Chain A
């Protein structure tokens, strides 16, 4: 461990009180919001869709808050700080992906569904099998994503509070889990949406502040900033070019393409993002939300460039790696250095940025938990187990119990995943979403011939292929950075399965449709197509 990091950790623990206070203030404020929202949550539309009364701008802010996760803030900044230009690909893919949601998915979904992604997937299909599939893939994607956020939480705490023991880290992961259960069970979608809006404002403000301070250090000369980053990284000009992380061999280059495809096609298949479009009254408002989200998220990712290159320019790479192997703590470390390592300002800035990162994690995990428990209650419990006969009270009860269950599962998995780069983990969730969900969403909406068989083949085939390949990839075993570094059962060379699993998902949709030999329900397709484009009967 380098002297600098000991100093940093020492500083941090001296100011532990400040950090804990800021964090407690955020938690208290969000709990007040949650209780307030909970009092107004009376029926299913309130719990699942926040009463559908948010404006396009409010929802755009909440969408940004839901999307700019720990992966964006900690993961991308860290990846840029360590690998330079290659970290930038994440921001580009994460942003361009929104066009798929804007052009093809957001408005039709708002027009024809009610509460979950499964509403649209199962619209013209046999309800029980397709809803079971949709519920399963919603929960799997959300848990992958949750894992990343939990890992981020554990990492932050070890840096901030000087807690390095496994017990301490797991304790924090558990605390995050309990808070998210409280947010979702009490506040439902209304509470979660407000928490996400508050968090989006805090995160953008925090990123603006750091970006300003970084640019100030370099007299607003971007070229100087890039030059210093390249010099300080010890990699020279290569730091500013593609290839440091992914350019080594043919395999890593393929991994880069795989990642790129997963990022751009994943967003429009993420259940926790899709259900946000039900919180606004019309498709027009859903469109407005996406436009706002693209503006806010784009601006934010531009700032992560400054943060990542700023961290590379101002902090020794060894110090970043010593603090967290995957670079996840680069942004908070940058805050400390910008304020001055030995000064109170450094500690205050570090505490502020860390509290913002915590807020980020909490808001995103709440959204993810809501998506999966909604899908469990609405798709699986009400429509499969109870065959559409459940009362609203039973359904909401199931949603709340599901929240507790999913919270518990993610606490356990989060404890296991604490040393993986959170951006990389989120990329896996994107790959699974793009393989299992996106093909069926698009075929359902736009392909007349598509059938139940096609939907099932595509969802399960995409899901099993994506998750299976991850299981046998270096992410899980065989490398020092793996989830289980001590064993090696990997045979799939790439970290991201997208390049195989996404085409498989699309292809199986076609194969399943033709091989299952069922007739598509023409009447239902007429209903879905007319509703999705006009909003007739949308509620």
Chain B
């Protein structure tokens, strides 16, 4: 199917047939993996992009609010900017935890079964 043949020395793994892929794609096990991935990654993506855009819009159109001094010369704008850093770190950590606990075991089970040719 693929237009390029992988060099034999580097790829001992024979790709399963299209029929096998279609069967796995429709299996309940794979459906569960897909659901577990998408229901985590998609809403989170929408969420952090919305949070980021909110920040961009506030920077543009809420001058007074952003300029409010909180302590010393530190204002709301600076704190919200740093909050973007913090949420980025937190989301990265959260996803890697979710992936290790929920996605990797399911993915590995399917992969080893398909490559083992059982």
> Which A residues lie at the B interface, using CB under 8 A?
43-45, 85, 88-89, 92-93, 95-96, 98-100, 102-104, 114, 127, 221-224, 226-227, 230, 237-238, 240-243, 246-247, 253, 256-257, 260-261, 264, 283-284, 287-288, 290-291, 294-295, 298, 301-302, 382-383, 387-388, 392, 446, 522-524, 526-527, 529-531, 533-537, 539
Contact between chains at B18 and A526 (CB < 8 Å): yes
Contact between chains at A294 and B99 (CB < 8 Å): no
Which of A103, A257, A522 lies in contact with B45, CB distance below 8 A?
Answer: A103
Which of B25, B75, B85 lies in contact with A240, CB distance below 8 A?
Answer: B75
B106 (CB) vs chain A CBs: closest residue? A534
Contact between chains at A96 and B10 (CB < 8 Å): no
B61-89 vs A, Cβ < 8 Å mask (1 yes, 0 no): 10100110101111101100100110011
Known A-B contacts A45-B10, A256-B60, A257-B57; the reply to A99 vs B92 at CB < 8 A is yes
B13, B52, B71, B103: which has the most chain A beta carbons within 10 Å? B52
Given contacts A291-B93, A383-B4, 14 further A-B contacts (CB under 8 A): A43-B7, A99-B92, A127-B3, A222-B72, A224-B73, A230-B73, A240-B78, A294-B89, A295-B89, A383-B3, A522-B22, A530-B114, A534-B108, A539-B11
B84 (CB) vs chain A CBs: closest residue? A92
Query: CA A524 – CA B17 in complex, angstroms?
Result: 10
Which of B44, B81, B89, B110 lies in contact with A92, CB distance below 8 A?
Answer: B81
Residues of chain A lying within 8 A (CB to CB) of residue B48: 96, 99
Query: CA A244 – CA B19 in complex, angstroms?
Result: 60
Nearest-Cβ distance from residue B96 to partner chain A, whole angstroms: 5
Query: CA A131 – CA B74 in complex, angstroms?
Result: 50
Query: CA A67 – CA B96 in complex, angstroms?
Result: 21
Query: CA A60 – CA B74 in complex, angstroms?
Result: 32
- A-B contacts, 17 of them at CB < 8 A, read A88-B78, A96-B48, A99-B88, A102-B92, A223-B72, A237-B75, A242-B60, A256-B60, A260-B53, A530-B24, A530-B25, A533-B37, A534-B108, A534-B114, A535-B107, A536-B15, A536-B115
Main secondary structure on A side of the interface with B: helix
Known A-B contacts A241-B66, A253-B61, A527-B1; the reply to A226 vs B114 at CB < 8 A is no
Nearest-Cβ distance from residue A438 to partner chain B, whole angstroms: 12
Known A-B contacts A85-B77, A526-B21, A537-B13; the reply to A287 vs B96 at CB < 8 A is yes
Query: CA A88 – CA B18 in complex, angstroms?
Result: 49
B71 (CB) vs chain A CBs: closest residue? A223
A247, A264, A288, A526: which has the most chain B beta carbons within 10 Å? A526
Residues of chain B lying within 8 A (CB to CB) of residue A243: 59-60, 63
Residues of chain A lying within 8 A (CB to CB) of residue B111: 534-536
Residues of chain A lying within 8 A (CB to CB) of residue B75: 237, 240-241
Residues of chain B lying within 8 A (CB to CB) of residue A388: 3-5
Known A-B contacts A103-B95, A264-B49; the reply to A98 vs B24 at CB < 8 A is no
Contact between chains at A92 and B55 (CB < 8 Å): yes
A527 (CB) vs chain B CBs: closest residue? B21
Nearest-Cβ distance from residue B37 to partner chain A, whole angstroms: 6
Nearest-Cβ distance from residue B80 to partner chain A, whole angstroms: 9
Contact between chains at A96 and B88 (CB < 8 Å): yes
Contact between chains at A95 and B60 (CB < 8 Å): no
Which of B55, B73, B99, B114 lies in contact with A536, CB distance below 8 A?
Answer: B114
B85 (CB) vs chain A CBs: closest residue? A298
A382 (CB) vs chain B CBs: closest residue? B4
Nearest-Cβ distance from residue B36 to partner chain A, whole angstroms: 10
Query: CA A257 – CA B49 in complex, angstroms?
Result: 13
A92 (CB) vs chain B CBs: closest residue? B84
Contact between chains at B18 and A260 (CB < 8 Å): no
B76 (CB) vs chain A CBs: closest residue? A241
Residues of chain A lying within 8 A (CB to CB) of residue B18: 523-524, 526-527
Which of A223, A294, A301, A539 lies in contact with B6, CB distance below 8 A?
Answer: A539
Residues of chain B lying within 8 A (CB to CB) of residue A43: 7, 9-10
B104 (CB) vs chain A CBs: closest residue? A284
Known A-B contacts A257-B56, A526-B18; the reply to A392 vs B7 at CB < 8 A is yes
Q: Which 3 A-B pairs have the closest CB atoms?
A: A223-B72, A242-B59, A226-B73
Interface residues of B in 6-51 (CB under 8 A from A): 6-7, 9-11, 13, 15-16, 18, 21-22, 24-25, 30, 33-34, 37-38, 41, 44-45, 48-49
Query: CA A501 – CA B103 in complex, angstroms?
Result: 34
Known A-B contacts A92-B84, A99-B88, A241-B66; the reply to A537 vs B78 at CB < 8 A is no
Query: CA A283 – CA B111 in complex, angstroms?
Result: 12
Contact between chains at A539 and B45 (CB < 8 Å): no
Residues of chain A lying within 8 A (CB to CB) of residue B57: 257
Known A-B contacts A99-B88, A291-B92; the reply to A530 vs B21 at CB < 8 A is yes
Residues of chain A lying within 8 A (CB to CB) of residue B33: 533-534
B73 (CB) vs chain A CBs: closest residue? A226
Contact between chains at B85 and A530 (CB < 8 Å): no
Query: CA A404 – CA B25 in complex, angstroms?
Result: 44
Query: CA A89 – CA B115 in complex, angstroms?
Result: 46
Known A-B contacts A103-B45, A223-B72, A241-B66; the reply to A294 vs B88 at CB < 8 A is yes
Residues of chain A lying within 8 A (CB to CB) of residue B93: 291
Residues of chain B lying within 8 A (CB to CB) of residue A295: 89, 92
Query: CA A98 – CA B93 in complex, angstroms?
Result: 13
Residues of chain A lying within 8 A (CB to CB) of residue B4: 382-383, 388
Query: CA A381 – CA B74 in complex, angstroms?
Result: 55
Nearest-Cβ distance from residue A262 to partner chain B, whole angstroms: 11
Residues of chain A lying within 8 A (CB to CB) of residue B92: 98-99, 102, 290-291, 294-295
Known A-B contacts A103-B45, A383-B3, A537-B16; the reply to A222 vs B74 at CB < 8 A is yes
Query: CA A168 – CA B48 in complex, angstroms?
Result: 46
Residues of chain B lying within 8 A (CB to CB) of residue A288: 96
